Amino acid sequence: MTTETTDRVGIEPRIAVHELAPQGYRAVLGLEKYVASVVDPVVFELVKLRASMINGCSFCVDMHSRDASRAGEDSRRLFAVAAWREAPFFTRRERAALALTDAMTRLGEHGVPDDVWEEAAAVWSEEELANLILAIGTINLWNRLAITSHTPPPLTV
């Protein structure tokens, strides 16, 4: 290891959920596979990256930014996900998905605001919305699992 990698301070993993609760973990993987098969792949990566940024999940931010990059996503758009409201790089459908992601991830006592829902419903069909809701819920579950278990991103890839 280089000095650069050994000098980094990281978190120590707490628990290996995938080993201790394999059936539950496989169930979440099954939901992930389902939503990956029915949600637009570009939107899916943007949603996963945005929720992971909001939740502060370093494992998922690292993984989803690398996955999107490998799939050909432009780095400017990936970086702009952090400030998507001010960025000119996203379509109306992507913006609606990102707004819904923000609202669902930061779900407050009043739930998803009507204006966010109405914009999403204006550009996504009901079936697409149902699948998008499942996708946003799934990444939020992954974030909570990784953060709680202290799953760090790999230092090398």
110 falls within a domain: yes
Chain mean pLDDT for the chain: 93
Q: How many structural domains are present in the chain?
A: 1
Distance (Å, rounded) from C-alpha 35 to C-alpha 135? 6
111 falls within a domain: yes
Q: Rounded to whole angstroms, what are the CA distances from 1 to 5, 7, 59?
A: 6, 10, 21
154 falls within a domain: no
CATH number for 22: 1.20.1290.10
CB-side neighbour CA atoms (13 Å) of 55: 29
Q: Worst-scoring range by mean pLDDT, 11-15, 125-129, 135-139, 143-147?
A: 11-15
6 falls within a domain: no
**C-alpha angle with apex 19: 52 to 8, nearest 5 degrees?**
50
**pLDDT score at 157:** 72
157 falls within a domain: no
- The tens digit of pLDDT for each residue in 50-64 reads 999 999 999 999 999
- The pLDDT confidence band at residue 8, using thresholds 50, 70 and 90, is low
Domain that holds residue 84: 14-149
- Token pair of 32 as six digits: 């992930």
88 falls within a domain: yes
